Structures are given as C-alpha cells and as structure tokens.
Chains A and B, each alone.
Chain A
C-alpha cells in the first residue's frame, strides 16, 4: 500500500486530497502508481498532469517521503510499503 497526496488542481480531479493505492510488489515505482491513477481518473488527470509528449508537466513536482524524485530515479524511483507520494504544484516560495 502506498499513500498518495495531491494538491492544487489535482484535488478536484481526485475528489479527495489523499488516497491509498495497492501496486504489485515487483513493480512498485512512482511510475506504476501513476499508471494506476491514470486508469482510475482517466483523461482529466492526463490533461492536468501530462504534457503533449506524455511527460509530467514542469509545473508539477513529485515527492516521495519529502524527497524530490528528480533527485532520485525520477519516475523509476522505487517505493517501499507505506511510502507517501505527493504530487503538488511546483514549489516556489516567497
């Protein structure tokens, strides 16, 4: 089980800010979590999250347990049981 937390416009698409997802143990990566989410939330999620080439839009960040996946293995970052994946608008601050 992996916890997914979403922010920004994604919350309206998900209808909630947090959900739990089961992915098979052999393929427990951020990418496999996204695939499950795409199946569940379909076109509206695809439009919001992905650009025309199918990549995550640059306006979004993905964190695993507070670490940015850009600094780990990107979408191939492996997940452990009970990890938290957060998808949020790019963090800029003031």
Chain B
C-alpha cells in the first residue's frame, strides 16, 4: 500500500445495516490516485444508468485524496453521486477537517448506499462503525444537528457532516455541511442523503497519516509556502479580499450577472464589494486545514434589521446570486439570506437563482401575488428574497416548486418561463456571464456537472486578463489543459485557489513525496483525461450529448444591454466552432461522445464498448 493512504474503503448499506471494510487496491490508486479520480470511477461502475437519484440505488461516495490529513494544503474530500437536480454525474468538494478525520479513522473512501427505514446517523469512531437512531435530530437545522451530535457523543472535537431541513425535504439542491459551514454544496448531495434517511455522519479518527518522504516533504513545504506568500493571488488577493475581490472586476468588465441574467453590471455594486465587506462586517479571516491563505471571511452584521446574522461568507458566488441576480445591494441582507441557506442546508447559488428567476416571472406577470402568498416578489425587494428563500428550504407554497431547481420549476410554471430559465444540463450557472467571457461560454457548456465554473476554472484567467476574454480562438485548447490539471487537483483534493502555485511541474514534485511513486507530467495529464472521460461517459449513459452542451437560447440572441460588455452575445457560429474544436481535441465524436479509440488509448476500452449504443451511425 502506498504511503498517504489508509488503505480502506468503508461501505455502509443503510437498507441492511451491513458495514464492510474493503481494501483500497494498489491498482485503483495507481490508476485513479484518489478524490475525484477514485470517486468517479467507483460511481461509474457501481451505478446502473437511469436510476432515480433519490432511490436507494444511488450512492454517496466520500473520497479523500493523498493530500488529505497531511501538512500539504488541501480541501478534505470530494463527494461523488448522481445529482437529483440535474439527473447526471456530480462531484462536489468540501474543505474543513471532516475529510482528514475520516482518513485518520482508517477510511480513504466512504460509500453510503441503500436507504434506512427510519432516520439514522452514522458514527465512525476509528475502527468501530455504528448506525444510530436520529429521530430526535430530524427537523433540526444544520447548526443544531452539529451541536446535538457532538453533545450526544460527548466529544466537541469530532467532525460531523450533516443535512438540514432542506435535505430532509429533498430540496433538489440541498447541501451537506461539515465543520462549521464548509460544504459539498452544489447539485443536491444533501437531498440524496435525505432520501437515504441519513441525517449525519460523525467521525473521530485518532490515527496518523504517513507520507512517503517526510523530510523531503517538509523541505518542499518550506519553499512552497514562500511561493504562496510571493504569488499575487495566494499571497495578497485571497488573504486580503477573499473571493469577494472578484465583485469589482466582474462589474467593471460587465459580466456580473444581474437582474436574473438580463444585465452584466449591478448599480451600486460598491455597496457589496470586498472593501465594504471588510470595513463593515468582517470579524475574522479563516483558512481550511493547513492552508496558509486565509481566503474565508467570517462576518457578523452589527446593526440594522439583520443584526446578529453570522456567517462564514458571503463569497463571490453568493454576492452574485443573492446580490446581483435579485438586484439587492444591501450587504447585511445578503448575509441574512445566505445564513438562511446554510441553516436550512441548501446551495445559496442555486437558491439565489431560483428566487431571482421567480422575480423575473413575477415582474412579467407570469406569476402573481396569488402564487407568492402575497409576497411582492420584485427585483430589489430584499425582504421578499429572504422570505422566499425560507419557503424554498422548507418547501412551502411557491418554494415547493422552486425547490425543484430552475429547469423543473420553469416547466411547471409554463407561460414562457422556460425561455427565461437559465441552466445548462439542469444546473444554474456560477456568477460569470458567458456573453462577455467566451472561454466561460465553452467551459460551462461542457463541464461534467452542468453550468459549473470549477471543472475548467477558465474564468480566473479571463477575468484577470491573462487571456483575452472576448476571443473565441484558442479557448478550446486552453480549457482542455485547465480541465485536466484541475481534475488532478480534485484527485489530490487540492483547492482551486492554489491554482497559481501548483503548475504541472510542481504537481509532479509534490505527489511522489506524498505517495512514494512517480507520476510524470504526461502521466498526470493522462490521469486528468481519464477522469474527464469517465465523467462524460457517465453522462452519455444518462442521455447527454452535444444537444446539451449549450447555454440557453437567450444568451445567443439577447445582447448584454449595458456596461463594458454592452452588445456582447455568444455568437452561435463561433461557439459551434469552439465546441467542435474541443470535441476534436478530446477525441470525442461530432456528437460529443468519447470515441472508442480515445477511450482505449486511456486504458478505458471497456467503457468504449459500453458507449456503443449511444453512438450515432
């Protein structure tokens, strides 16, 4: 067994109560490394195509990486499952200490399957694994659950991953929180957990995580930490401003989604930017695990109607979803809105999207105050935003429909709502308008979990001017390299915000120090390609093809109306060229299906045969 691994997969079947400990094989490690690599491979092999994501057949795979639990800065774990929001593959990474605790308890990967008859929680106490009753926790919010489980087990230091009311009520974008409020947030893993009647997973791990070359790793880290300090993003921007530092640049370039994706600049964005946050509400800078960056900002509202609201955040994405989209420039109201999402346990990015979508419908008369229980759901009405978010998390009134996500909600509302709804493959996008960021236009379209910014992470390079945000040429090749490097990040369970300090040649240095075997740059790129291809294969089996790799029609037709990206659309012809080039570089056919030859060259010949029924003549 290579170093940096506990050597074990822990499998818990909630239907039978059976707990199994399986070896994590060398073959699996060498081919998939960890995290998203191992998680995606297991998910592909263990799920039958077409299963209902909220049925006992779905699985939750918590996969740590080789860096988890070591001194090398890392996130914690990657959660792979079939999304109830999108009906396709998803993986979601989470920071904090839960992943490290899991590994110290002797578990690299935790697979939860089946469905308990009654509410349960899982207690992993090093070698001892128990399934315990959770009726008394059902109905409790995420923070109450965390406190109650710790108290019941008599240890304040244990780590608890849990769902809130939203997860219990199967809100399709419910999240799983761990530590205080780190989370596997997107695409609804909390609903999968709720469907299994699993309220929480508590872990106490007291073992050690050995690394292959400890002395050399310490030397590496000394140098690495200096690089982190000297690098603009990790040494200055993220520590000082956090992700909210992006609010200025997004608005000044006209790509900050506003008024439910109808505009690219928010009037009064200065009221919710990083400078205002730091001046008015930030009480503490915070980091995950051994990370030196301190990108997270803990905030407290100190006065006014939302006084007392406390949060780890808001970050760029929630400033966009709860600020830009509903045209809300009250920072305190954003904090309160996100506090509701975190407390009830659902993704504030999709949450902001569904409420702003409803505002758009309301303003156009598609829905009325009869549908909203009297709420005047107009853009800029911050109290209505907050109240509607609460209804979503509890599935009350219109909130019950919005809890399905924007794609399904639009279908049910009808009357032209589907044209307004913004999603790709059922996932509401992160906060970057593809009309003014052409690489983002491609990246969100082809990302494995829908309109996702992290799979390719090209947004940073376009936003900060490393590459021309308005150019179409060259973006396909740039994106391919990004996707592969970040797939390796996710196999290691590294954080995206360290993107500038882990180029390929540093990845090839640090990985052997942890695991004890070498992987050169080409081998790492092949690993990245394998992960991208297996995730795509999973989606192909679910019916995904080229037809799904598109933004909604209005992004091709309706130009941004104001700001520095005024007049920009996604040009259909240029987009199609980028998409074709991307498929070609990937070795996928014209319909976006990985070719047999490509899969065989990656050692995935079996998948090539399995995809045969999905290929067109």
Binding site for B on A (CB under 8 A): 5, 7-8, 11, 17, 57-59, 61, 63, 65-71, 86, 88-94
B246 close to A7 (CB less than 8 A):
no
A82 to B598, CA, bound (A): 53
- Residues of chain B within 8 A of A11, CB atoms compared: 275
B564→A67 contact, CB < 8 A:
yes
B41 CB-CB contact with A under 8 Å? no
A-contact 0/1 string along B416-444, CB 8 Å cutoff:
00000000000000111000000000000
Whether B537 is near chain A, meaning CB under 8 Å from some CB there, is no
With A63-B252, A89-B237, A92-B237 known as contacts, the answer to whether A7 contacts B275 (CB < 8 A) is yes
| Main SS class of interface, B | helix
Interface assignment of B236: CB less than 8 Å from any CB of chain A:
yes
**Residues on B with beta carbons closer than 8 Å to the beta carbon of A92:** 233, 237-238, 243, 245-246, 460, 463-464, 497
A66 to B467 Cα, complex, angstroms: 14
- A93 and B249 within 8 A (CB): yes
Could you tell me the distance between the alpha carbons of A58 and B465 in the complex, rounded to whole angstroms? 12
Interface residues in B, total, Cβ within 8 A:
40
CA distance A67 to B253 in the complex (A): 7
B246 touches A61 (CB 8 A): no
- A37 to chain B minimum Cβ distance, whole angstroms, is 18
Among candidates A57, A68, A89, residue contacting B248 with C-beta atoms closer than 8 Å: A89
B contact residues around A91 at 8 Å (CB) = 245-246, 248-250, 253, 460, 463-465
15 A-B pairs whose Cβ atoms sit less than 8 Å apart in the complex: A7-B273, A61-B464, A63-B253, A65-B564, A66-B252, A67-B564, A68-B465, A88-B248, A89-B236, A89-B241, A89-B245, A91-B460, A91-B463, A93-B243, A93-B453
| B557-591 to A contact mask, C-beta < 8 Å, 1/0 | 00000011100000000000000000000000000
* Minimal beta-carbon separation of A17 from chain B (angstroms): 7
Is there a chain A Cβ closer than 8 Å to B459's Cβ? yes
Give Cα A90 to B233, complex, Å. 7
Q: Nearest Cβ distance between residue A10 and chain B, in whole angstroms?
A: 10
Q: Which residue of A lies closest to B233 (CB)?
A: A92
- Indicate the member of B245, B315, B432 with the most A CB atoms within 10 Å: B245
Instruction: Decide if B250 touches A93 in the complex (CB within 8 Å).
Output: yes
Name the B residues within 8 Å of A17 (CB-CB).
270
Judge whether B240 is part of the interface by a CB distance below 8 angstroms. yes
Residues A93 and B432 in contact, CB atoms below 8 Å apart:
yes
Is B232 among interface residues, defined by CB-CB distance under 8 A? yes
Write the nearest CB–CB distance from B474 to chain A, whole angstroms.
Answer: 13
Interface residues of B in 63-122 (CB under 8 A from A): none
Q: A66-B565, A88-B252, A89-B248 are in contact. Are A58 and B243 (CB under 8 A)?
A: no
B316 adjacent to A8 (CB under 8 Å): no
Query: Min CB distance, B327 to chain A, in Å?
Result: 20
A71 touches which of B250, B430, B465, B497 (Cβ 8 Å) = B465
Q: B167: CB under 8 A from chain A?
A: no
- Contact present for B464 and A59 (CB under 8 Å): no
Q: How far is the CA of A8 from the CA of B245 in the complex (A)?
A: 9
- With the chains together, A57 CA to B161 CA distance in Å? 42
19 extra interface residue pairs, beta carbon distance < 8 Å, beyond A89-B240, A94-B453: A8-B240, A11-B275, A57-B232, A58-B232, A63-B564, A66-B254, A70-B466, A71-B465, A90-B232, A90-B236, A91-B246, A91-B248, A91-B463, A92-B245, A92-B464, A93-B245, A93-B432, A93-B460, A94-B315
Give chain A residues whose Cβ lies under 8 Å from the Cβ of B404.
none
Rounded to whole Å, the gap between the CB of B608 and the closest CB of chain A is 37
Asked if A71 contacts B468 (CB within 8 A), the reply is yes
B168 interface hit (Cβ, 8 Å): no
B317 interfacial by beta-carbon distance below 8 Å: yes
Smallest CB–CB gap between A58 and chain B, Å?
4
- Minimum distance in angstroms from A9 CB to a CB of chain B: 8
Contact with A along B462-495 (1 / 0, CB 8 A): 0111111100000000000000000000000000
In the bound complex, what is the Cα–Cα distance between A17 and B269 (angstroms)?
Answer: 13
Bound together, the chains give a CA A15 to CA B240 distance in angstroms of 20
